Amino acid sequence: KFTCTPAQSTIIVEGPEDADLDEATDRLLKVFGIAGLSRAAAVEKDMDVILDTCVEYTAPLLNAASTFKVEAKRADKKFPLNSPEICREVGGKILSRFHHLKVDVHNPDVIINVEVRDKCAFVHGNQLKGAGGMPSGSAGKAALLVSGGIDSPVAGWMMAKRGIELIAIHFASPPYTSQRAEQKVHSLLRQVAKYSGRIMLFVVPFTEIQELIKDNCPEEVFTLVMRRMMMRISQEIAIKEGCQALITGESVGQVASQTMQSLAATNEVCTMPVYRPLIGFDKQEIVEVSEKIDTYETSIQPFEDCCTIFVAKHPVTKPN
């Protein structure tokens, strides 16, 4: 029941009277492409009403502040006061009611904004910082290989922030991997989807392929061959879904299969680009982002994924 109306380089979001605006604000702060947003009171274009609203609506902010300033925009040029006059009237009203406040036009604790637009006037406090980036889908579509660990959800989040629409591919190896491991991936993607928008998940049954690799390949190259098979399958899915690239959570040197030589050997089976947004990150940097987007606690749940079974004791680190 919310409405979204573009208006003069701004999007006005309005909900019904019983709407949970705290929840709506929290969701909007996760939408890529929004640089900032403000909770605002919409009032009639009458200066007395605007003055009363500025005092009442922003009182919690002003009570907690020491300094403030007023900014005004007059999109409706028929309004009798211009922007400097609006600022002067509002500032005087606030100083008459909040005696502890001082005006600071350079570095105020609170900025009170008054915007006089075509249909009404808006009153709001400081702008909240949005997720930034670019809107979902504006930069194309790519397939994220997601294991259930810390790295891949962060990689997906980072590419989604640049406007890439995501699909996700997960490799499951029952009975070596459990249903709980797959549910963990669902939970991680739901969290990323709060930022990216809807994500379609493909679960690939991988047990037979892994057993064949184990039985037919030298142990030291097991992980490398497995990853090459994953890339081949993922690329086929990506092509069918209209993707332009693959995304992985790899970073140089993190494990044996992520050395420069191993990454090059993995890339050899791909004809489409492979994006690795974490390539220069160390583990702590990745953990910090995962905590920021609330995927860390889910990622560290101890459920085996197909990358952690049949692991070689001495994997090759410089394959040709």
How far, in Å, CA of 263 to CA of 256, rounded?
10
Residue type for position 4: C
How far, in Å, CA of 102 to CA of 92, rounded?
11
- Strands (DSSP E) contained in the chain are 3-7, 10-14, 36-37, 40-43, 67-74, 102-103, 110-116, 121-124, 128-129, 141-145, 165-172, 200-205, 245-247, 274-275
Q: Considering the chain, what is the average pLDDT of its residues?
A: 93
With H, G, I as helix, E, B as strand and everything else as coil, classify residue 274.
Answer: strand
What's the mean pLDDT in 282-292? 96
- Residue range 130-182, pLDDT digits in tens: 999 999 999 999 999 999 999 999 999 999 999 999 999 999 999 888 889 99
- Residue range 56-97, pLDDT digits in tens: 999 999 999 999 999 999 989 999 999 999 999 999 999 999
What's the mean pLDDT in 261-280? 95
Nearest to 110 by CA among 73, 72, 71, 53: 71
Q: Are 195 and 165 in contact (CB under 8 A)?
A: no
- Residue range 224-260, pLDDT digits in tens: 999 999 999 999 999 999 999 999 999 998 887 789 9
Instruction: Classify residue 9 as left (phi > 0), alpha (psi -120 to 50) or beta.
Output: left
Is the pLDDT confidence value at 307 over 70?
Answer: no
Burial label, 241 (beta-carbon count in 10 A; 0-12, 13-18, 19+): middle
Specify which residues 7 forms β-bridges with. 10
Instruction: Report in angstroms the alpha-carbon separations of 175 from 28, 62, 145, 205, 312.
Output: 40, 60, 21, 11, 19
Is the pLDDT confidence value at 4 over 80?
Answer: yes
Categorize the per-residue pLDDT at 10 as very low, low, confident or very high, splitting at 50, 70 and 90: confident
Both structure tokens of 248:
């992985």
How far, in Å, CA of 291 to CA of 195, rounded?
14
